[in-house]
Structure 1
């Protein structure tokens, strides 16, 4: 059984002259638990993928598993890792080696942890694809962390249904 997702809440935000797509999710859990959900390979596997390697080296190999078999492994460079509050990663994507910079910030108040996810949007044209994608994956994270099966979150509810919202945010 699937449930209808909330409307898209991702927004454009400018930080130091750079455009980002920013999305937030809240969890009724301590910050350490949410940190584990976004950093531990076994917990990541429940909603998006898994990684191997030694984070102390400054990079890990990430494999997206939420999209089935055949997705190539990608190298993620770890720019900032301040457990359990901040993680900044970079990776090259696509044939043109475009770089994605991802930022995850966690804050806890009264037993509720807010995850703020941000990705640099150097090319506003990709927001109509990237925004719905992160809405989808973050809702899978919420489902997994609330004890539901992340596969109940249906991609067709996100894309192309949410593309116009992100096109408008970045136009």
Structure 2
């Protein structure tokens, strides 16, 4: 499994926004990029219980408005908005924490643009790991989606896990983390603080932190 790390990550535009949600400080990470397919096909790829495992992970539950879902080995939650084929939103519940995802699709010339926003309340976990905690994971997911859309080939999860431990996989984690550090700084965060948080997150994703450290992607 080989990918052009710089090219894949360079196709994504990232931003971090700080605001208040329900009277509490919050932050949203946003990723947007184009795919060489139609909006209808991309919608089906990201919402179909049959197709999601081909690029992401197996998902169970009721994938319609108000339904509960569970991604295997990852988050679960409730679908809070659904307007096919352009928008859905859901809670993202993992490790006892709750955050929120919002996905929009739009046609752009002969391509489809996907915009994903992941919002979390700023708590100790965020202050430790920063936006890369969820950002690196979403970069991985969007890269998997591109490969699937381009080739139609389903991801082999054992191969993907081995790749993540490879030098190329670790380079992906590092480069993604650096992109998220830059977005964090652009949001107004002190550069030294942003670097400390991104260094922790990169080390975790590269497998270079103690196993008892909480997973950065809990979303809190």
Q: When the two structures are superposed, what TM-score results if normalisation uses the length of structure 2?
A: 0.64
Partners of 2:65 and 2:80 within 8 A in 1: no
Across the two proteins, how many residue pairs are aligned to each other? 162
Which residue of 1 is the match for residue 4 of structure 2?
Answer: 4
User: Of 174, 178, 183, which residue of structure 2 is paired with 1:169?
Assistant: 183
State the secondary structure of the residue aligned to 1:108: strand
**What is the distance in 1 between the residues matched to 2:131 and 2:34?**
22
Q: Deviations over 1:101-156 (max 9, x none)?
A: 01110001333110001101433434122111111111100111111644577432
CA distance 1:112–1:4, change in 2 (3 Å): same
CA RMSD, 1 decimal: 2.6
User: Of 19, 38, 41, which residue of structure 2 is paired with 1:30?
Assistant: 38
Higher CA-based Rg? 2
Which residue of 2 is the match for residue 132 of structure 1?
Answer: 136
**What is the distance in 1 between the residues matched to 2:176 and 2:101?**
20
Structure with bigger helix share is 2
Q: Which runs of 5+ in 2 are unaligned?
A: 190-220
**What is the distance in 1 between the residues matched to 2:64 and 2:2?**
39
Structure with bigger strand share is 1
**What is the distance in 1 between the residues matched to 2:80 and 2:65?**
11
User: Of 137, 151, 154, which residue of structure 2 is paired with 1:147?
Assistant: 151
Q: When the two structures are superposed, what TM-score results if normalisation uses the length of structure 1?
A: 0.80
CA distance 1:131–1:147, change in 2 (3 Å): same
How far the C-alpha of 1:48 sits from its partner, in A, is: 0.9
Partners of 1:10 and 1:24 within 8 A in 2: yes
Is 1:40 the equivalent of 2:40? no
State the secondary structure of the residue aligned to 1:41: coil
How far the C-alpha of 1:44 sits from its partner, in A, is: 0.3
Between 15-24 and 79-88, the greater mean CA deviation after superposition:
15-24
Partners of 1:103 and 1:117 within 8 A in 2: yes
Partners of 1:51 and 1:60 within 8 A in 2: no
Which residue of 1 is the match for residue 67 of structure 2?
Answer: 59
Q: Which runs of 5+ in 1 are unaligned?
A: 65-70
State the secondary structure of the residue aligned to 1:159: helix
Between 145-154 and 155-164, the greater mean CA deviation after superposition:
145-154
